[in-house]
Amino acid sequence: MTYLATHVEITDLPNRYLFKQHLSKSIQSSDLESNAILFLDLDHFKNINDAQGHEIGNAVLVEIAKILTTTFSLVLAAMSLSFL
């Protein structure tokens, strides 16, 4: 039940609530130089929903989420290896 309350069902990514929790913990417990925030804005995404429908728009979001998840998993793995 907690997972459903903290993740976006369509993309399976953490939602705003979980993001705010992680950000707050990170700010309170870490050196700020070891943290980063990436903000993405999908230009004209509304046009996809309007022209192609929400089903296609959702499919686009799912694919973007997969790409970001894969990319960041690889980046984090490479960073972990660099500390060995």
Alpha-carbon distance values, 43 to 34, 48, 53 (Å): 29, 10, 16
Mean pLDDT of the chain: 84
pLDDT, residue 37, reads 77
30 and 60 housed in the same domain: no
The stretch 48-69 carries a mean pLDDT of 93
43 and 81 housed in the same domain: yes
Q: Is the pLDDT of residue 53 over 90?
A: yes
Residues 6+ apart with CB under 8 A from 60: 45, 48
Domain of 9 in residue numbering reads as 1-35
16 and 30 housed in the same domain: yes
φ/ψ of residue 7, rounded to 5 = -135, 150
42 and 79 housed in the same domain: yes
pLDDT, residue 45, reads 93
